[in-house]
Chain A
Amino acid sequence: MSIQIEEKGRKTGRVGDLPHEVWTSVFRNPWPSNDLERSSTSFTNFFLHIHPVKVHKHTLKPSYTLGLGLISFFLFLILVVTGVLLMFYYVPSTTQAYDRMLDLRGTVAFGIFLRNMHRWSAHGMVAMVFLHMCRVFLTGSYKKPRQFNWVLGVLLLLVTLFMSFTGYLLPWDQLAFWAITVGTSIAAYAPVIGKDIQFLLLGDSTVGQEALLRFYVLHVAVLPAVLGLLAAIHFWRIRKDGGLSRPETVAGGREPGHGERGVVARRVYGLQGFVRGAFNGGAPEDSVFSWPNLLLAELFVFVLTVSVILVVSLLFHAPLEEPVNVMHPPNPAKAPWYFLGLQEMVSYSAFWGGVGVPGLMVMLLIGVPYFDRNPKGVGRWFAKERLLANTVFLSLVVLNIIFIIVGTFFRGPNWTFVSPF
């Protein structure tokens, strides 16, 4: 009897059904209780739309990816949120910027905390993007068909470094001023266009008000937009290139590679049929639904990332040195740690250390998926088949780290060698 009334009520649109109607108008998919509904989460929800319906079990192994790409992305989100909040109080003026830093410390509620979060996330993002690159290299994941996504990754690393570099000037303290003076002078060593690049960056012949404004605009508008766009393409390509790399030995890991026109011919085209090298030939037990498996993994990494940043920001304050004194460079004047390797090389030769060697390294990184023709050893850490490539890569990484350590701990006044012990 009651059931009949309910059904009748539905049909006529009772007022009591309004909440239900509103809810279903917003969330087009019910809370998934069967496989069909689990699949449709990624079709019906804008935010989940980035997910594939199913992911390979290998993709979710924490020991394979270490979650480094996700961590980098979540750090970027933290940086956007804290950065926008800081923008409410910051003024890109040589007379006000430093005072605003002090205000963050003294009067703004949670000001110092937000600045700490922004600073430590920025350091973290540089480190995590770099480690993510190491992971992708050491598992041979840049190989066909993922060559271009590796190139996008290298560009993302460069934009991340540039983001960090432009943000470095904004507090307008001694550290900022001299690091940017040195940094933009390095740019001036680039052949032919070096001086023009420096002038365009600074908007003047020396670091001053124009430079501060330009770096601010680059930092809060231009570079985040570029980074966001590149990251979107980066994520999109993961799926279009057949998901994360997996070893050949894993069932369903067979990578069809490029078809003649980039589309693998099939007899039946599913909704995902035009994805290059999508796995759907594998046994169903090799894959799991993205809802809830992938989502929970992502949530876990997110909570972990935010927690670490919160704890670090509570414990350590972002450094702030004396206000800019154009007449007295600190001695030694040091760049942020991830540029200290560069600064150490620059102290031998400005051109080779600042432009030549880094330029070659970037070219090498961008070119590596195209001149490493060895198709073997994809999807495994330190694969034996990739001994040469991994050794060369790790040597360069270690060399860079040594330069950073020397620049950080072993250089004193006038950049002379000192012992920290």
Chain B
Amino acid sequence: MESRRTALTWLSSVGLFGSAVLSAVSNLVFIKPRATYGQPSRFAIGKPDDFPPGTRISLDVKRVCIVREGNKMAAISTTCTHLGCIVGTSDTGFACPCHGSRFDQDGNVTGGPAPKPLPWFKLSLAPNGELEVDKGQAVDAGSYLNV
């Protein structure tokens, strides 16, 4: 009798507690968006001809800097690895206005609190001749796309 009561108490406690945990977890799942409405991580930026050799063009809205040296092209992130501000281009590379982080032309940290270099994103040539940046895919610094 006593043991049956104990067992039932345990069983119902575990059931109630488990349900509470389950509903908490489902709430978390609910508030984590499956689709985001902001900028897509893959986007086209134009033809290679739009970026003359020797230029470094920052697309601030897309938060990426398109670098072209001769026929080699690359896309470097302009989101500061410190706290997410947009880094501006400077003579020596990039500089962040928020907390003073500095990066060289390849995005390596040269000063300030930034803990990591600016990542390079995968740049590819779509069949229609447009350049495509995929911010979901980081590549090693120094990997260029030949155009």
Bound pair: A and B?
yes
Binding site for B on A (CB under 8 A): 178, 181-182, 184-186, 188, 196, 199-200, 203-206, 208-210, 326-333, 343, 346-351, 413-416
Query: Across the interface, do B84 and A184 meet the contact criterion of CB distance under 8 Å?
Result: yes
Query: Across the interface, do A327 and B60 meet the contact criterion of CB distance under 8 Å?
Result: yes
Query: Across the interface, do A347 and B113 meet the contact criterion of CB distance under 8 Å?
Result: yes
Is residue B70 contacting chain A, with contact meaning CB distance below 8 A? Answer: no
Binding site for A on B (CB under 8 A): 28, 31-33, 36-39, 41, 60-61, 63, 82-86, 95-100, 113, 115
Query: Across the interface, do A350 and B100 meet the contact criterion of CB distance under 8 Å?
Result: no
Give the complex CA separation of A328 and B78 in angstroms: 12
**Further 18 A-B residue pairs, CB within 8 A, beyond A329-B98, A415-B100:** A181-B84, A182-B98, A199-B32, A200-B28, A200-B32, A203-B36, A204-B36, A204-B37, A206-B39, A208-B37, A210-B33, A326-B86, A328-B60, A329-B85, A333-B85, A350-B113, A414-B96, A414-B99
Query: Across the interface, do B115 and A414 meet the contact criterion of CB distance under 8 Å?
Result: no
Give the complex CA separation of A204 and B38 in angstroms: 7
Query: Across the interface, do B99 and A347 meet the contact criterion of CB distance under 8 Å?
Result: yes
Give the complex CA separation of A206 and B39 in angstroms: 9
Give the complex CA separation of A141 and B60 in angstroms: 53
Can you list 24 A-B contacts (CB < 8 A)?
A181-B83, A182-B98, A186-B83, A196-B32, A200-B28, A203-B33, A204-B33, A204-B37, A206-B39, A206-B63, A206-B84, A209-B38, A210-B38, A326-B61, A329-B85, A330-B97, A333-B85, A333-B98, A347-B100, A347-B113, A350-B82, A350-B113, A413-B97, A415-B98
Name the distance in Å between A62's Cβ and chain B's nearest Cβ.
Answer: 43
Give the complex CA separation of A189 and B100 in angstroms: 18
Given the known interface contacts A186-B83, A349-B113, the answer about A206 and B38 at a Cβ–Cβ threshold of 8 Å is yes
**Which B residues are CB-close (under 8 A) to A209?**
37-38
Query: Across the interface, do A205 and B97 meet the contact criterion of CB distance under 8 Å?
Result: no
Given the known interface contacts A327-B61, A333-B98, the answer about A210 and B36 at a Cβ–Cβ threshold of 8 Å is yes
**Which B residues are CB-close (under 8 A) to A346?**
83, 99, 113
Name the distance in Å between B29's Cβ and chain A's nearest Cβ.
Answer: 11
Give the complex CA separation of A275 and B113 in angstroms: 53
Give the complex CA separation of A115 and B36 in angstroms: 32
Give the complex CA separation of A182 and B82 in angstroms: 9
Name the distance in Å between B107's Cβ and chain A's nearest Cβ.
Answer: 17
Name the distance in Å between A261's Cβ and chain B's nearest Cβ.
Answer: 21
Name the distance in Å between B42's Cβ and chain A's nearest Cβ.
Answer: 13
Name the residue of chain B whose CB is nearest to the CB of A348. B113
Contact check: which of A178, A186, A196, A349 meets B85 at CB < 8 Å?
Answer: A178
Query: Across the interface, do A414 and B100 meet the contact criterion of CB distance under 8 Å?
Result: yes
Give the complex CA separation of A331 and B61 in angstroms: 18
**Which A residues are CB-close (under 8 A) to B41?**
205
Query: Across the interface, do B31 and A200 meet the contact criterion of CB distance under 8 Å?
Result: yes
Give the complex CA separation of A331 and B88 in angstroms: 11
Name the residue of chain B whose CB is nearest to the CB of A208. B38
Query: Across the interface, do B99 and A329 meet the contact criterion of CB distance under 8 Å?
Result: no
Name the distance in Å between B98's Cβ and chain A's nearest Cβ.
Answer: 5
Name the residue of chain A whose CB is nearest to the CB of B41. A205
Given the known interface contacts A326-B61, A347-B113, A415-B99, the answer about A205 and B38 at a Cβ–Cβ threshold of 8 Å is yes
Name the distance in Å between B28's Cβ and chain A's nearest Cβ.
Answer: 8
Among all A-B residue pairs, the 6 with the closest Cβ atoms: A327-B60, A331-B97, A185-B84, A185-B83, A414-B100, A415-B100
Give the complex CA separation of A333 and B97 in angstroms: 7
Give the complex CA separation of A135 and B31 in angstroms: 39
**Which A residues are CB-close (under 8 A) to B113?**
346-350
Name the distance in Å between A46's Cβ and chain B's nearest Cβ.
Answer: 31
Contact check: which of B33, B60, B98, B99 meets A326 at CB < 8 Å?
Answer: B60
**Which A residues are CB-close (under 8 A) to B115?**
350-351
Name the distance in Å between A18's Cβ and chain B's nearest Cβ.
Answer: 51
Query: Across the interface, do A332 and B84 meet the contact criterion of CB distance under 8 Å?
Result: no
**Which A residues are CB-close (under 8 A) to B96?**
414
**Which B residues are CB-close (under 8 A) to A349?**
113
Name the residue of chain A whose CB is nearest to the CB of B82. A350
Query: Across the interface, do B97 and A332 meet the contact criterion of CB distance under 8 Å?
Result: yes
Name the distance in Å between B91's Cβ and chain A's nearest Cβ.
Answer: 14
Query: Across the interface, do B37 and A210 meet the contact criterion of CB distance under 8 Å?
Result: yes
**Which A residues are CB-close (under 8 A) to B85?**
178, 181-182, 329, 333
Name the distance in Å between B41's Cβ and chain A's nearest Cβ.
Answer: 8
Name the residue of chain B whose CB is nearest to the CB of A196. B32
Give the complex CA separation of A179 and B54 in angstroms: 35
